[in-house]
């Protein structure tokens, strides 16, 4: 039986600042434990540390630095830097690991830690377990002559900007496009605008004045209303909204329509098919809109689903040898370009399609029609047992018959709350809403609880 992790979740360690494990003393111990795992004996080890713009990042950066240096590991500090930038720089700078201090799209009250391996991928389970095992041990300090040193990488920003630009080729230009970019007052605040401007775009900015407290505050990829308003206000060709750590993005077309991760994936896949580029197929999740699956089928592009979470998406991509995958939230992975989700890179791939086809974003996404979805959370004490209930299974089968192959039913336990997510998807929004309500009521009744 596989050992169970106590601190690491599907995307690192995350929680409320000041509550275990998101405390300075834990971060000190975590830094030391990671240093012990990644130390290379007589050879000096090096670990990269970056962070987003939330105020607690300074505190946790100092704690991690103390723990790592006590373990005899050298540190390169980048300051505020997107998560995918740390993944890229960890590999190119030949570091043994990279650490990002971020809670992604969460508000400033939260924070967390993400690790990357020496090749820019997320850590395998056995390494995370090894770090947790070291946390249980007493903290010791290496001999003074062996203590680690910390230094800042002054050109980290420039290195990553050039990498982003290189992903679209040296000849592609965004000249003539007016683009609004919303950086969520997060880690991309001074990078995403520079990338787009250096590629020739007329850039209008939002969310580029972080103060430590306003990250993801009514702005960014989880709150696209501000971007939509600005795109319409300035008459932009389109807009791009990133989240606080820059690993996901969504877009807005010139009419103010929100283009989510599913639609971005569809546009990228169709452009690669148009260029006869080999990419295998597209991996989505259980929550990916059926409209994307149906639209990809029209272009004879294979599609597969996984459990929710970019870790599972990447694993399935690697298993199949496919190059594209992602989630509707905007976490898109172009695996032939980078090893992890990158909001700037995925937006640039969509922009490449806009430029090379000479079509608007609205035209490119119109070949995919998203199907209406209704999701209802049902409070349950044991949501994992629902699938074993005969009445519920019959209810699901009945709804699937009514959808007639043009819809889906999904029952999914939440990973963070004691609820079951009841989702129905189909072509008729009124029917979908009614069927979702009926199924949610059935689930609640069969469990003896109420929605």
Q: Six-digit token pair at 435?
A: 């069927």
The last residue of one of the domains, among 154, 170, 187, is 154
Domain CATH number, residue 30: 3.40.120.10
pTM of the model: 0.92
| Residue 218 sits in the same domain as residue 337 | yes
Task: Write out pLDDT tens, residues 401-416.
Answer: 999 888 999 998 876 6
The last residue of one of the domains, among 127, 154, 181, is 154
Over 70: is that where the pLDDT of 383 sits?
Answer: no
| Residue 72 sits in the same domain as residue 147 | yes
Residues with catalytic roles:
104
Instruction: Look at residue 415 in the predicted model and tell me its pLDDT.
Output: 64
- Is the residue at 6 inside a domain? no
| Residue 387 sits in the same domain as residue 337 | no
- Is the residue at 197 inside a domain? yes
| Residue 126 sits in the same domain as residue 229 | no
DSSP H helices, 290-357, are: 290-298, 310-320, 343-357
- Is the residue at 8 inside a domain? no
DSSP strands (E only) in 303-414: 303-306, 324-326, 332-334, 373-379, 408-413
| Residue 57 sits in the same domain as residue 114 | yes
Instruction: Look at residue 358 in the predicted model and tell me its pLDDT.
Output: 97
Instruction: Look at residue 449 in the predicted model and tell me its pLDDT.
Output: 47
Task: Write out pLDDT tens, residues 296-330.
Answer: 999 999 999 999 888 899 999 999 999 999 999 99
Over 60: is that where the pLDDT of 1 sits?
Answer: no
Over 80: is that where the pLDDT of 343 sits?
Answer: yes
* Cα–Cα distance for residue pair 292/273, rounded to 1 Å: 15
| Residue 193 sits in the same domain as residue 298 | yes
Q: By percentage, how much of the chain surpasses pLDDT 90?
A: 88
Instruction: Tell me how many degrees the CA angle 379-382-383 measures, rounded to the nearest 5.
Output: 65
| Average of per-residue pLDDT across 235-263 | 98
The last residue of one of the domains, among 339, 365, 391, is 365
| Residue 338 sits in the same domain as residue 217 | yes
- Is the residue at 3 inside a domain? no
User: The domain containing residue 394 runs over which residues?
Assistant: 373-447
Quick one: pLDDT band at residue 419, thresholds 50, 70, 90? confident
Instruction: Look at residue 392 in the predicted model and tell me its pLDDT.
Output: 92
- Is the residue at 1 inside a domain? no
Instruction: Look at residue 311 in the predicted model and tell me its pLDDT.
Output: 87
| Residue 303 sits in the same domain as residue 337 | yes
Task: Write out pLDDT tens, residues 144-164.
Answer: 999 999 999 999 999 999 999
| Residue 200 sits in the same domain as residue 288 | yes
- Is the residue at 229 inside a domain? yes
| Residue 411 sits in the same domain as residue 359 | no
Domain CATH number, residue 438: 3.30.310.50
Task: Write out pLDDT tens, residues 71-109.
Answer: 999 999 999 999 999 999 999 999 999 999 999 999 999
| Residue 313 sits in the same domain as residue 208 | yes
- Sorted by sequence, the CB contacts under 8 Å of residue 389 that are 6+ apart come out as 446, 447
Question: In angstroms, what is the C-alpha Rg of the chain?
Answer: 23
Q: Six-digit token pair at 346?
A: 């995925």
Residue pair 189/209 in contact (Cβ under 8 Å)? The answer is yes
Number of domains in the chain: 3
Buried b / exposed e along 194-216 (16+ C-beta atoms within 10 A): bbbeebebbbbbbbbebeeebbb
Instruction: Mean pLDDT check: name the lowest of 173-177, 196-200, 366-370, 418-422.
Output: 418-422
- Is the residue at 2 inside a domain? no
| Residue 166 sits in the same domain as residue 135 | no
Instruction: Look at residue 388 in the predicted model and tell me its pLDDT.
Output: 79
- Is the residue at 35 inside a domain? yes
């Amino acid at each position: 039986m596989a050992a169970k992790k106590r601190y690491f979740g599907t995307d690192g360690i995350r929680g409320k600042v000041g509550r275990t494990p998101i405390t300075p003393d834990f971060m000190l111990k975590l830094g030391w434990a990671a240093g012990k795992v990644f130390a290379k004996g007589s050879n000096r080890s090096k670990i990269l540390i970056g962070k987003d713009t939330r105020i607690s990042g300074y505190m946790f950066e100092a704690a991690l630095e103390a723990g790592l240096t006590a373990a005899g590991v050298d540190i390169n500090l980048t300051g505020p830097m997107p998560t995918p930038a740390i993944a890229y720089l960890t590999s190119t700078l030949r570091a043994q690991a990279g650490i990002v201090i971020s809670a992604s799209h969460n508000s400033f009250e939260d924070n967390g830690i993400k690790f990357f391996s020496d090749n820019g991928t997320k850590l395998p389970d056995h390494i995370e377990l090894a770090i947790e095992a070291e946390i249980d041990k007493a903290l010791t300090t290496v001999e003074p002559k062996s203590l680690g040193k910390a230094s800042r990488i002054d050109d980290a920003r420039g290195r990553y900007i050039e990498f982003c630009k290189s992903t679209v080729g040296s000849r592609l230009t965004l000249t003539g496009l007016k683009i609004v970019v919303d950086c969520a007052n997060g880690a991309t605040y001074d990078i995403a605008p520079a990338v787009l401007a250096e590629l020739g775009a007329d850039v209008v900015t939002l969310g580029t004045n972080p103060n430590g407290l306003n990250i993801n505050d009514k702005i960014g990829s989880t709150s696209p209303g501000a971007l939509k308003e600005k795109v319409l206000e300035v008459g932009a060709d389109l807009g791009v909204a990133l989240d606080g750590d820059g690993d996901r993005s969504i877009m807005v077309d010139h009419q103010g329509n929100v283009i989510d991760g599913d639609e971005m994936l569809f546009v990228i896949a169709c452009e690669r098919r148009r260029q006869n580029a080999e990419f295998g197929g597209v991996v989505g999740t259980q929550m990916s809109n059926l409209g994307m699956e149906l639209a990809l089928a029209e272009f004879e592009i294979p599609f597969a689903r996984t459990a929710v979470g970019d870790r599972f998406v990447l694993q399935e991509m690697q298993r199949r040898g496919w190059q594209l995958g992602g989630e509707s939230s905007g976490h898109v992975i172009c695996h032939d370009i980078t090893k992890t989700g990158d909001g700037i890179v995925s937006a640039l791939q969509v922009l490449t399609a806009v430029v090379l086809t000479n079509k608007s974003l609205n035209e490119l996404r119109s070949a995919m029609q998203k199907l209406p979805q209704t999701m209802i959370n049902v409070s349950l004490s044991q949501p994992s047992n629902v699938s074993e209930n005969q009445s519920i299974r019959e209810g699901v089968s009945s709804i699937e018959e009514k959808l007639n192959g043009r819809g889906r039913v999904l029952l999914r336990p939440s990973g963070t709350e004691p609820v079951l997510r009841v989702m129905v998807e189909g072509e008729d929004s009124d029917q979908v809403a009614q069927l979702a309500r009926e199924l949610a009521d059935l689930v609640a009744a069969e469990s003896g609880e109420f929605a």
